[in-house]
Amino acid sequence: MSRVLLISTNRATAPYVVYPLGMAVVAGALNKTGHEVKQFDLLAAENDERDPENELKNKLSLEKTIRECNPDFICLSLRNIDNTDSLSGDDGWYLEEARKTVNSIRSLTKVPLIVGGPAFSLMPEAILDYLKADYGIIGEGEEALPQLLTKLTGGVSLPPIVKGSRPLDGEEFATPQFHPELLDFYQARSGMANLQSKRGCPHRCSYCTYPELEGRAFRRRPATAVVDDIERLKKDHGIETLFFVDSVFNENCGHHLAISEELLRRSLKIKWSAFFRPSDLDIKDLKLMQQAGLFALELGSDALTDKTLKGLGKGFSVADIRATHKACLSLNLPAAHYVIFGGPEETPKTLKEGLENFDHLAGGVIFAFSGLRILPGTQLYQRAIKEKIISPTTSLLRPTYYFSPDIDPETMNIAITNACQGHRERLFPPSEALERMAVMRRFGFKGLLWDQLIKQA
């Protein structure tokens, strides 16, 4: 069996720092197969402040870890390519940092370097080439990584990129091996842990990569296993708040209700939030989830006219969004809507209508975005080629955005800014919103933060 050093390269701190769950899950799987694993988190190592001194601190602690661990393999978990904010340009691009990390590692050791994680899986060939790592695994790492290590140890020659296999519905997978010190680090900064209850997304949103990353079929972890994890997080690590990282929490497979029922059965007092789809969410289900600890909803509303919702392939209407919003308000559940302007079918007319519809979401928070990050494997990618926004040979490694040819982005951004002016609960541009949240954090606020904006409004 091998000694494996797992490194989480994610140093993004917005909207808040997130526990490196992918690394924890892979660590759990490696441990189960008998490997000796050390988890190292670059963000925690540099203590979450970005300055040149920390770059050095980071390098030194990486060096120390490699020396002490003396690994046979080093595996990098790559979460984000960029921050998907068109207004932040290359400032929001993370791969250069990852390449620096690879260069540092290369200067210290010659052991094989393996890359994985959601960012890697979106553009595997281009990222492997850019980082100059040895091997990459597309998708889920639990089975594929131990298998790859066994083969490499046995001297089997392998292609540089392999595809991870997907566990089946109902199997026990994604069991994280949480690292106590890292939990403390994230707990002190964001006040939240995270957990996955299922994988898979059956929806056909034109820009979204989730079905590409997780497949379309649901694969549920048994509700008892999920709640066992929560119980452990609470009892052993004092975790009181968490975020379910499922692509969409409320799906027709009903797993969100099964989890809620199990939480209630065990009387586990834990606060939780998740991503929701603003359709088919009736009051009865919302009430059940609220009783089980749901304290706020992040809603992938995405657009606020029926025409642009159709352009994004959302499969629900403005009336559905309004009904969901009303249901949340009636239960005093804070709701945040993510809304993206400038996508397919956006015109000056839909922009006006969409901004007017902000008023229907009064009492909630709106995160507005301008333009859509184009990623391979999506319908939007094909559309962008057809509309000659990109060509089939355009590299998408650096942030590349889709704007409807029927709208001028600058005029659109001014209109969104104006519609948000004087409303602290309408957050645009994203960077300004994040700065506001960073200030709140410096004053000791923890958690999602946007839910507290409503309280202050």
Which residue ranges make up the site for ligand B12 (CB under 6 A)?
10, 12, 14-15, 17-18, 21-23, 25-26, 75-77, 79-85, 114-119, 121-122, 137, 140-142, 145, 174, 192, 194, 196, 209-210, 213-214, 243, 245, 247, 373
Q: Is the peptide bond before 334 cis (omega within 30 degrees of 0)?
A: no
Nearer to ligand B12, 201 or 419 (CB): 201
Distance separating alpha carbons of residues 103 and 436, to the nearest angstrom: 35
> Helix or strand or coil: residue 217?
coil
Nearer to ligand B12, 118 or 318 (CB): 118
Task: Pull the structure tokens for residue 408.
Answer: 């001028």
Nearer to ligand B12, 220 or 373 (CB): 373
DSSP annotation of 340 reads E
Distance separating alpha carbons of residues 433 and 56, to the nearest angstrom: 30
Minimum distance from residue 340 beta carbon to ligand B12 (Å): 11
Angle between helices 180-189 and 223-237 (to 10 degrees): 80
Nearest to 22 by CA among 78, 93, 71: 78
What are the residues whose beta carbons fall under 8 Å from the beta carbon of 378, sequence distance 6 or more? Answer: 206, 207, 208, 209, 212
DSSP annotation of 158 reads -
Minimum distance from residue 356 beta carbon to ligand B12 (Å): 26
Minimum distance from residue 353 beta carbon to ligand B12 (Å): 26
Task: Return the C-alpha torsion angle 230, 235, 239, 245, nearest 10.
Answer: -10
Do 277 and 300 contact (CB within 8 A), yes or no? Answer: yes
Nearer to ligand B12, 330 or 395 (CB): 395
Minimum distance from residue 354 beta carbon to ligand B12 (Å): 20
Minimum distance from residue 314 beta carbon to ligand B12 (Å): 16
Residue whose pair of structure tokens reads 């392999």 in the numeric block: 162
Nearer to ligand B12, 275 or 358 (CB): 275
Minimum distance from residue 194 beta carbon to ligand B12 (Å): 3
Longest dimension (CA), the chain: 64
Minimum distance from residue 64 beta carbon to ligand B12 (Å): 21
Straight-line distance from the first to the last Cα atom of the chain, in angstroms, rounded to the nearest whole number:
56
Do 45 and 62 contact (CB within 8 A), yes or no? Answer: yes
Nearer to ligand B12, 71 or 118 (CB): 118
Nearer to ligand B12, 239 or 323 (CB): 239
Nearer to ligand B12, 223 or 318 (CB): 223
Minimum distance from residue 185 beta carbon to ligand B12 (Å): 13
Angle between helices 95-108 and 52-69 (to 10 degrees): 40
What beta strand segments (E) does 72-138 contain?
73-77, 113-116, 135-138
